[in-house]
A and B are shown apart, each in its own frame.
Chain A
Amino acid sequence: MAIVMKDIKKQYVGTTKPVMEHFDLTIEDGSFTVLLGPSGCGKTTALRMIAGLEDVTDGRIYIDENDVTDVDPGDRNIAMVFQNYAIYPHMTVRGNIEFGLKNYKIEKEEIKQRVDYVLALTGLSEYSERKPAQLSGGQRQRVALARAISKSPKAFLMDEPLSNLDAKLRTQMRSEMIQLYNRLKCTFIYVTHDQTEAMTMGTDIVVIYKGVIQQHGTPEEVYKSPANLFVAQFIGDPGMNALKLSSGGFVGFKPREAQIGAAEGDGLKIKGKVLTREYMGYDYMITIDIGCGNIVIRNKQHVEVDQELDLFIPQTALYYFDENQNRTETVQTGSVAEVFHVDD
């Protein structure tokens, strides 16, 4: 089911500035699209507008070519999983799943079949008569998922569904969601600020910043070919280092591309002093003071704090951005003025 947001404007009552304007987004049928961006960028607002939980100030929303802008949330044939699970605390697991199906006046026998199926699918069969208070965080999130699946919706909307779980459970649930998507093969729209989640789960990533779509592409595209400096610095662990040049342009490189030690050949050569060294298991995350700011690199080589380093980044690993921070193939020249961060 394709979802289209066309020329959307959203402005909250009592505010002077819209949170988004001329917002256009097409979500392909059957994709796992992740809306990614920092807090307050408008990703949740976009999701809630698709769900019908938030009115649009201007523009139209289409689901399967039908204009649903003024359609009630319950009639959009979508299901949503919330950050805080939003399961009904006074109902049993079974009651939670049945509730929506009863509202849609589905026959009793079919309700039972569907509930049993989703309980088995989410591994909750033995907990069906328990109340949410008797379940763990992961189980509660599964109830929310089971409730969503039982409706056989055309699209699943998920608003940071894993952010309330601990790190281990999050990894496990991430894998379960990918399996679920592979099995159901219907449209998933997933909101997160965690770029690891976005990269690992999504077939498509939409990077949003200040209510504007910065880039829409596959995880490989946004990682390897960032459209602008914001995307380059938001994606990656950590994001790209960017150096502002005296010409106004920028040159960037990914933390893993920096080689330690003096080298010959075309590329960027920098000197710096180690500020911190964090052991990450596979390699080290090293923060280096290069005189005009700090950069972060990832390298397996053991270095000491306060050690002076020569760094070399090959020409092929350099990214260039024009003065408007947009990606360009034109080589930007000039002396390094400062280390640059988009949010500064």
Chain B
Amino acid sequence: MDQFKKPAKYKKKNSLVGKILECLLLAFLFILFVLPFYYMVISSFKTTIEAMATKPVFWPSKWVFTNFRDAWKEANFSKYGLNSIIISASVVVTCLACSVPAAFAFGRLQFKFKKPLFAIILSDMMVPVQCIFLPLFLIFAKLGILNTYGSMILLFTYSGSTIFFIRNAFMQVNNEVLEAARLDGASELTVMFKVTFPMVKPVVVTMALMAFLRRWNDYFWNLSLTTNDKVRTLPYAINSLNNATDGALPRWEVTMAGATLLMAPMLIAYIFANKQIKNAFVYSGIK
């Protein structure tokens, strides 16, 4: 009966110390990630003095709501917000229109040079954007499309990571379902859109949200591929709130209010789509 003896180094699975350590670590990480957001939101309600105070103020003594009005006005939200919406929404449409068929082809079809082509697509995820912005700037300048919506949308139409994640989701669809559809007289396009697409929809929705989010928050390309304000978006506008004019001090509370306004739509979208996003990450094998 020796084999049934408890191992010498047997450890209780749920020891109290382990649980406490686990909770402490989680609490630490929670504070680490939530604190900056909290401080941004709370600062947007502060007075200038409290916002500039060297000693951090975690709860305003007086709640100032006009910061939001000032941010909206000073950052010209109506102009730059519209730019943000046009570019982000268009990028979602064009990016998915290219990525979904490409992902289906890489995930479910056989064709020549599939592996090397996919390797090239993956390489996009490895190249830092700083390496390619200058060549891109020069190309766009040569094409004469700098400072146009087209250039900002074209730039983000292709996304290696979006293709990669949607391809993973397509690959998880049972092959017999595709074969059944082909036997049901479906063309490859019908197989893709009517049979497999609804099955990978959570992943596509998540990728759409992420594509929107990337463009909505983008600051780098906003500046590096434009030479004037025509098609610049909200992150640029909010940053410009920092640039004090006439020797005045920057109003941090207004900048924070602008940042809060910028973040609000995405936060709301995340709260509503939270479950779907989590499912999508599990489904597409992103763990």
Task: Name A's B-contacting residues (CB within 8 A).
Answer: 51-53, 72-75, 78-80, 82-84, 86-90, 99-100, 103-104, 147, 151
Binding site secondary structure of chain B:
helix
Please give, as numbers and ranges, the residues of chain B lying within 8 Å of A103 by CB-CB distance: 184-186, 190
Looking across the interface, which residue of chain B has its beta carbon closest to that of A99? Answer: B184
Please give, as numbers and ranges, the residues of chain B lying within 8 Å of A90 by CB-CB distance: 198-199
Taking CB atoms and an 8 Å cut-off, the chain B residues in 167-189 that contact chain A are: 174, 176-177, 179-186
**A174 CB, min distance to chain B CBs, angstroms:** 21
> B174–A86 contact, CB under 8 A?
yes
A75-B185 contact in complex given A90-B199, A99-B194, C-beta closer than 8 Å: yes
**B270 CB, min distance to chain A CBs, angstroms:** 25
Please give, as numbers and ranges, the residues of chain A lying within 8 Å of B195 by CB-CB distance: 88
> A84–B183 contact, CB under 8 A?
no
Please give, as numbers and ranges, the residues of chain B lying within 8 Å of A72 by CB-CB distance: 182
> B176–A99 contact, CB under 8 A?
no
Please give, as numbers and ranges, the residues of chain A lying within 8 Å of B194 by CB-CB distance: 99
A86-B177 contact in complex given A99-B194, A103-B190, C-beta closer than 8 Å: yes
A74-B176 contact in complex given A88-B195, A99-B194, A103-B190, C-beta closer than 8 Å: no
Task: Name B's A-contacting residues (CB within 8 A).
Answer: 174, 176-177, 179-186, 190, 194-195, 198-199
> A74–B179 contact, CB under 8 A?
no
> B186–A74 contact, CB under 8 A?
yes
Binding site secondary structure of chain A:
loop
Query: 7 pairs across A/B with beta carbons < 8 Å?
Result: A51-B179, A75-B185, A80-B179, A82-B180, A86-B176, A88-B177, A99-B181
> B180–A86 contact, CB under 8 A?
yes
- A127, B168: Cα distance in complex, Å: 33
**A153 CB, min distance to chain B CBs, angstroms:** 9
Looking across the interface, which residue of chain A has its beta carbon closest to that of B190? Answer: A103
> B183–A80 contact, CB under 8 A?
yes
**A184 CB, min distance to chain B CBs, angstroms:** 18
> B182–A53 contact, CB under 8 A?
yes
> A88–B181 contact, CB under 8 A?
yes
- A90, B177: Cα distance in complex, Å: 11
Please give, as numbers and ranges, the residues of chain A lying within 8 Å of B190 by CB-CB distance: 103
Q: Which single member of B176, B177, B184, B199 contacts A100 (CB below 8 Å)?
A: B184
> A74–B180 contact, CB under 8 A?
no
**B112 CB, min distance to chain A CBs, angstroms:** 13
> B185–A89 contact, CB under 8 A?
no
Looking across the interface, which residue of chain A has its beta carbon closest to that of B182? Answer: A73
